[in-house]
Amino acid sequence: MENSGPPADQDAGADAANSGAAPRQPGQYSFVVAASRLPVDRTQGPDGKHEWRASPGGLVTALEPVMRAAEGAWIGWPGSPGDPPEPFDTNGMHLVSIGLSAAEVRDYYEGFCNATLWPLYHDVIAQPEFHREWWDAYVRVNRRYAEAVAAEAAEGATVWVHDYQLQLVPGMVRSLRSDVRIGHFTHIPFPGYEIFAQLPWRKQIVQGLLGADLLGFQRQGDATNFLRACRRSAGLTTHGSYVWVPDTPVGDDDSRRRRLTARRSTGGRSVRAAAFPISIDTRGFGEIATRPGVQARAQEIREALGKPETVLLGVDRLDYTKGILHRLKAYGEVLSEGRLSPPAAVLVQVASPSRERVEHYKRLRDEVEGTVGRINGEFAEVGIPAVHYLHQSYPREEMAALYLAADVMLVTPLRDGMNLVAKEYVACRHDEDGALVLSEFTGAADELTGAFVVNPHDIEGLKDAIVRAATVSPAEARRRMRSMRRRVLDNDVAHWAETYLRALGQVPARASSGPPPGEHAHESAPAGPARAS
């Protein structure tokens, strides 16, 4: 999941000092979130002093309102190596920092999270690397998070663990605190088994996740892939959307008969794996877009671009999963075929800096910047670039102005768990104008059916979709945008969190004695070729 940018800066440290309310003691929080990052980043100001700034992730935007309402505790990494600061309270949240050493940033964050799991879970678009020392760091850091959760959670608390960086935490928390209810949500895709099977530690990952009571995924396909991984890599039995986790582990080599006997004779739990598509703060984002200052800024942007007839916009983290190169290739060909031409058409590509020390990201930046240079070299005129490339991050107000200024929004990832930029664009378009070109390989494509849906690998199809979106009639644009707005207004982030937490609350009490009523059992797949699931 991605979204565009941070809300206004805040000094969380000062906020804590001035809040006046006595912070609650550890072990008293009835709602605990564990996520890779804190909702604030520790940065160094121009005077060398440390300050806190709201961090740019989509998850922060998603959970902040829920956290404030529940007065929960949030456990995460402040974003730079070194000793963690003391816990502090801000905006109704208790923030507990996890410290990562420089070696752990390299081996856990840049290594196992972003050079092993990230490419593996995104269809191997880039080659994942498997290193045992990275895995060891992943286990060590996950344990640190789990211990912090166990220390903060009150008796019977609800714990919500997030994403691929923390897949071992549910199992570790369960072994430390069997009284708490544990949810996990995977924000990125969960890959098909043939890809997942490459991971040398696939069984440990499956077992770690199965420490949860409820496993949330973006799309039904992700949940289905996970259920298959349970059968194939851990020899477990699934029942519709439930996995049966026996108290006595079943050995890899046990026969089907022994596994069946084990299921009848041992106790265990059922874990549910299901889709809960995440969304955005639709009304909050929409409200920003109605502000006169933001609307004036949108006009100003169009004027600065030379008042083109058509503004096309891409907004992405600079990541190889986002399909930026495919988009640029298609756009370059559209220009060279004269189907669109500057200065009447202008592309603005925002590519916010990300994971800049990871090799694949360094290479991608060079390729994207080289491609933008080539397109501009061929099609720009003095003072009129064909592509405006911005390697920067912007606050939400500027993003909303860009969305309002854009006639066509290009969201063309090769694979994306959800893609919240697509939803943000729709949320801003009160005028029911504007067209969205959307990759079918995003979670958002399941919901935003009013988009011009494309396969980004099909460059001819992508070119046609870009031209169709740029030349769509106002009536068709309105019909499409209206249906997308309805969807994004109905399923906003509050609805997502409520739906997930309600489902987590319905999990039967600990150590249930079998699959829930009405579910039909499928036995685990035998070794050998995969069974369709």
Residues in contact with ligand F6P by the rule CB under 6 A: 1-2, 36-37, 57-59, 114, 163, 187-188, 354-355
Asked whether the beta carbons of 200 and 176 are under 8 A apart, the reply is: no
Is 225 or 241 the residue whose CB approaches ligand F6P more closely?
225
CB of 527 to ligand F6P, least distance (A): 33
CB of 163 to ligand F6P, least distance (A): 6
- Residues 6 or more apart from 433 whose CB is under 8 A from it? 407, 474, 477, 478, 481
Beta strands in 91-162 (DSSP E): 93-97, 153-162
CB of 112 to ligand F6P, least distance (A): 12
Integer-rounded Cα Rg, in Å, for the chain is 24
In angstroms, the Cα distances linking 240 to 2, 129, 186, 481, 493 are 30, 33, 19, 35, 27
DSSP 298-328: HHHHHHHTT--SEEEEEEEES-GGG-HHHHH
Is 188 or 422 the residue whose CB approaches ligand F6P more closely?
188
CB of 14 to ligand F6P, least distance (A): 25
C-beta nearest to ligand F6P: residue: 57
Is 95 or 188 the residue whose CB approaches ligand F6P more closely?
188
Is 420 or 501 the residue whose CB approaches ligand F6P more closely?
420
CB of 360 to ligand F6P, least distance (A): 13
β-pair partners for 268? 246
Give the three-class secondary structure for 217. Answer: strand
Is 76 or 268 the residue whose CB approaches ligand F6P more closely?
76
Please give the structure tokens belonging to residue 356: 């800049």
Asked whether the beta carbons of 315 and 285 are under 8 A apart, the reply is: no
CB of 487 to ligand F6P, least distance (A): 21
Q: Residue 95: phi, psi to the nearest 5?
A: -105, 125
CB of 251 to ligand F6P, least distance (A): 35
Q: Residue 206: phi, psi to the nearest 5?
A: -60, -45
Is 79 or 332 the residue whose CB approaches ligand F6P more closely?
79
Is 37 or 239 the residue whose CB approaches ligand F6P more closely?
37
Is 112 or 452 the residue whose CB approaches ligand F6P more closely?
112
Is 104 or 407 the residue whose CB approaches ligand F6P more closely?
104
Is 58 or 211 the residue whose CB approaches ligand F6P more closely?
58
CB of 41 to ligand F6P, least distance (A): 10
- Residues 6 or more apart from 158 whose CB is under 8 A from it? 30, 31, 32, 180, 181, 183, 501, 504, 505
CB of 2 to ligand F6P, least distance (A): 6
CB of 319 to ligand F6P, least distance (A): 8
Is 121 or 403 the residue whose CB approaches ligand F6P more closely?
121
Nearest to 385 by CA among 353, 350, 345: 345
Nearest to 324 by CA among 290, 344, 352: 352
Asked whether the beta carbons of 503 and 272 are under 8 A apart, the reply is: yes
CB of 78 to ligand F6P, least distance (A): 12
Structural element, H or E, at residue 185: strand 181-185
Asked whether the beta carbons of 309 and 345 are under 8 A apart, the reply is: yes
CB of 264 to ligand F6P, least distance (A): 40
Using alpha carbons only, what angle is made at residue 315 by residues 371 and 383, rounded to the nearest 5 degrees?
Answer: 55
Is 79 or 208 the residue whose CB approaches ligand F6P more closely?
79
Asked whether the beta carbons of 301 and 405 are under 8 A apart, the reply is: yes
Asked whether the beta carbons of 149 and 201 are under 8 A apart, the reply is: no
Is 187 or 480 the residue whose CB approaches ligand F6P more closely?
187
CB of 48 to ligand F6P, least distance (A): 24
Is 278 or 465 the residue whose CB approaches ligand F6P more closely?
278
Q: How many helices (H) and strands (E) does the chain have?
A: 20, 18
d(CA 420, CA 442): 10
CA dihedral (250, 163, 25, 155) positive or negative: negative
Using alpha carbons only, what angle is made at residue 150 by residues 147 and 153, rounded to the nearest 5 degrees?
Answer: 145
Neighbours of 305 (CB within 10 A): 18
Using alpha carbons only, what angle is made at residue 468 by residues 464 and 470, rounded to the nearest 5 degrees?
Answer: 120
CB of 388 to ligand F6P, least distance (A): 24
